[in-house]
Amino acid sequence: MSQNVPDRPPTAILIDELAVPRNATIGAIVGIAVAAALYLVRVFELLGPVAGTRQYPVFGPEGWFLLLAFVLAVAVTLLVTIVLTIVTAYRLTRTSDE
């Protein structure tokens, strides 16, 4: 058994090298911005009224679209974070090869 215990676990080092916290912050900003923009367009009918009428039980249309905006924000955040992390990993492999 080895007496050498690393200061940080290997996964923490990998997360730092891939800049995951930075990528997650950028992803959250983009996700919230996209969801807010689409929420405002839909709720305030900035592109005109929607054809036809629908019933929105319990919450009303604003509540349902707010829930959908939250789901969209989380999905876009995850997508942007994953893409940025893959790009960072690719750049790290390119620089380590040279």
Query: Cα–Cα distance between 77 and 84 in angstroms, integer?
Result: 11
The b-or-e profile of 20-43 (16+ CB within 10 A means b, else e) is beebbeebbebbbebbeebbeebe
Residue 37 clears pLDDT 60, i.e. is over it = yes
pLDDT one-digit tens code per residue, 74-83: 999 999 999 9
- Check: pTM over 0.75? Answer yes or no: yes
Count Cβ atoms below 10 Å from residue 18 Cβ, excluding itself: 18
Q: What is the mean pLDDT of the chain?
A: 87
For residues 80 and 22, the answer to whether their CB atoms sit within 8 Å is no
Q: Can you give the pLDDT at residue 56?
A: 74
- Number of helices and strands in the chain (H, E): 3, 0
